[in-house]
Structure 1
Amino acid sequence: MFTEKVRVVQFGCGKMAKVIIKNLVSHGAEIVGAIDTNPVVIGQDIGDFAELGYRTGIKISNNAQEVFENCDADVAIVTVFSYMPEMEKIFETCLVNNVNVITTCEEAIYPWNTSPAVANRLDRIAKDHGVTITGSGMQDIYWINMPTLMMAGMNKIKKIKGAVSYNVEDYGLALAEAHGVGYEITKFEKEISQAQSLPSYMWNAAEGICSKMNWTIQSVSQKSVPFVLEEMVYSETLGRNIPAGEAIGMSAVTTFETHQGIEIEVECIGKVYRETDGDMCDWEITGEPDMVFSLEKPDTVAHTCATIVNRIPSLIEAPAGLVTADQLAELSYLTYPINLYV
Structure 2
Amino acid sequence: MQKTSEVHQLDIVAAVDIDPNKIGKDIGELIGTEQKGVKVTAGLEQIPSLPNDVPKVAIHATGSNLENVWPQIKQLLDHGYSVVSTCEELSYPWHRYPQLAKEMNIYAEQKGLAVIGTGVNPGFIMDTMTLCFTSVVNEVNDIKVTRKVDVSKRRVPLQKKVGVTMTEEAFYNLAKENKIGHVGLEESARLIAYGLGIELTSVTNTIHPTIADSDIELALGSLQKGQVSGQHQVVEAKTTDGRTITLELIMSVAVTQEDRIELIGNEPLELVVPNGIFGDTATAAMAINTAKLIGTSHFVGIVTMADIKLSRNLNLAASKLITT
Gaps of 5+ in 1: 6-27
Instruction: Work out whether 1:55 is the aligned partner of 2:35.
Output: yes
Of Structure 1 and Structure 2, the greater helix share is in: 1
The 5 Å alignment of 1:197-208 reads 200-208=183-191
Pick closer, same or farther for the CA change 1:141–1:191 going to 2, 3 Å: closer
Query: Secondary structure of the residue that 1:138 maps to in structure 2?
Result: coil
Query: Secondary structure of the residue that 1:117 maps to in structure 2?
Result: helix
The 5 Å alignment of 1:229-244 reads 229-236=212-219, 239-244=220-225
Q: How far apart are the structure 2 equivalents of 1:69 and 1:234?
A: 46
- Counterpart of 1:323, as a letter, is V
Q: How far apart are the structure 1 equivalents of 2:96 and 2:182?
A: 7
Pick closer, same or farther for the CA change 1:86–1:270 going to 2, 3 Å: farther
The match for 1:44 among 13, 25, 32 is 25
Aligned to 1:160: 143
Q: How far apart are the structure 2 equivalents of 1:128 and 1:318?
A: 14
Aligned to 2:83: 101
Instruction: Work out whether 1:332 is the aligned partner of 2:312.
Output: yes
Q: How far apart are the structure 2 equivalents of 1:234 and 1:40?
A: 29
Query: Secondary structure of the residue that 2:260 maps to in structure 1?
Result: strand
- Counterpart of 2:224, as a letter, is P
TM value normalised by structure 1: 0.80
- Counterpart of 1:124, as a letter, is I
The 5 Å alignment of 1:1-342 reads 28-52=9-33, 54-61=34-41, 63-68=42-47, 70=49, 74-139=56-121, 140-168=123-151, 170=154, 173=157, 175-192=158-175, 194-196=176-178, 200-236=183-219, 239-271=220-252, 273-274=253-254, 277=255, 279-297=257-275, 298-316=277-295, 317-334=297-314, 336-339=315-318
Cα RMSD between the aligned structures? Answer: 2.8
Q: CA deviation at 1:319?
A: 1.8
Q: CA deviation at 1:258?
A: 0.7
Q: How far apart are the structure 2 equivalents of 1:107 and 1:166?
A: 20
Gaps of 5+ in 2: 320-324
Aligned length in residues: 308
Q: How far apart are the structure 2 equivalents of 1:172 and 1:252?
A: 20
Cα deviation digits, residues 84-107 of structure 1 (max 9, x gap): 123222222212211111122222
- Counterpart of 1:319, as a letter, is F
